[in-house]
Amino acid sequence: MTARFTETLHPGYAQSLDIDGAMLVDERSEYQHIQIFDSVRMGRTMALDGVVQITARDEASYSEMMTHVPLFEQAAPKRVFIVGGGDGAVAEEALKHDGVEVEMCEIDAAVVAACKTHFADVNNGAFDHPRFHLYLEDAFAFMKKAENRNRYDVIVADRPDPVGPAEVLFQTEFYELLRDSLTETGVVVFQNGAPLLQPEELTDTLRQLRSVFPHSGVYLTVTPTYVGGYMALTWASKGTRLGETAPAVVADRFIRSGVVTDHYTPALHAAAFALPAWIQRLLPA
């Protein structure tokens, strides 16, 4: 009989993945329950505390949109900071941009170790890249260091849902530290859940961001194994309005970069900022 993994993140709603073979990783780290397995339809999959974080088949729709949208709206980005991201997928995308230094702060070394082994086809050697720097420590403490103020052109907060050790990544203090770590034109991007099933999370986060940053907003992607349809990607900046760079400029930067993608395109970049009416109504007044 085929084993089955079932995620029950949202009350009254579940998704199940049939497991192909034995569990590759099934362990508890200091911080969370880590499970990695091959699923029949979605390929290599990782769940943390019972919630799917990444699958090989649809990860590009998340990691590419989190990374390339803010990077292609920067004229000459030099440094990217990733909060979390232990699977290495976002780092791999950021490293596609020539000359960009990528720093990552991941609290759980066990996640990194597991993903180096079991998601090598996704992170594609990112952990060993000369422009990549990994810090296995708490992101709060890291960003409080004086040398990290006004340092980053793009920050990607690759945070899970606000449960367990990730709860602090939805606090106002966290947003203030991110603001102080950005350059004046830098942009931070966040995973903010599925508005269909987590509408209050989007509204509350945008309200928090408005209290901390001069500019903020939301764009969308669709990652099938993040149940609920649209995935909200919120953003904030001291001096940049994401989504207002001319499409022709974004397209030119993309072509000149030579970046190869599986999901992101300049046309999709522009379309991601078009919000359905029901999501517009979730935005705070």
Q: Is residue 222 part of a domain?
A: yes
Binding residues for S-methyl-5'-thioadenosine: 32, 106, 138-139, 165
DSSP string, 203-242: HHHHHHHHHH-SEEEEEEEE-TTSSSSEEEEEEEESS--T
Same domain, 31 and 87: no
Write out the residue range of the structural domain in which residue 234 sits. 60-280
The pLDDT assigned to 256 comes to: 97
Q: Is residue 170 part of a domain?
A: yes
Same domain, 23 and 105: no
Same domain, 250 and 127: yes
Residue 133's region, left for phi above 0, alpha for psi from -120 to 50, else beta, is beta
Active site residues: 158
Same domain, 13 and 116: no
Same domain, 165 and 210: yes
Task: Write the pLDDT tens digit of every residue in 176-230.
Answer: 999 999 999 999 999 999 999 999 999 999 999 999 999 999 999 999 999 999 9
Q: For the domain that residue 76 is a member of, what is the CATH number?
A: 3.40.50.150
Same domain, 67 and 45: no
CB 55 within 8 A of CB 258: no
Task: Tell me the pLDDT of the chain averaged across its residues.
Answer: 95
Rg for the chain, CA atoms, rounded = 18
The pLDDT assigned to 171 comes to: 83
Confidence of residue 2 (pLDDT cuts 50, 70, 90): confident
Task: Write the pLDDT tens digit of every residue in 122-151.
Answer: 999 999 999 999 999 999 899 999 999 999
Same domain, 131 and 189: yes
Q: Is residue 285 part of a domain?
A: no
Q: For the domain that residue 21 is a member of, what is the CATH number?
A: 2.30.140.10
Scored b (16 or more CB within 10 A) or e, 200-213 reads ebbeebbebbeebb
Same domain, 120 and 220: yes
CA angle 160, 138, 45 (to 5 degrees): 35
Q: Is residue 165 part of a domain?
A: yes
Q: Which residue has the tokens 């699977």?
A: 87
Same domain, 192 and 98: yes
Q: Is residue 25 part of a domain?
A: yes
Amino acid at 81: F
Does residue 110 surpass a pLDDT of 90?
Answer: yes
What average pLDDT does range 24-32 have in this prediction? Answer: 96
Backbone angles phi, psi at 77, to 5 degrees: -65, 140
The pLDDT assigned to 91 comes to: 98
Q: What predicted TM-score, i.e. pTM, was given to this entire model? A: 0.95
Binding residues for spermidine: 87
Same domain, 195 and 157: yes
The pLDDT assigned to 161 comes to: 64
DSSP string, 141-165: HHHTSGGGTT-EEEEEEE---SSGG
Q: Is residue 93 part of a domain?
A: yes
Q: Is residue 182 part of a domain?
A: yes
Q: Is residue 212 part of a domain?
A: yes
Same domain, 123 and 224: yes
Same domain, 87 and 169: yes
Count of structural domains within the chain:
2
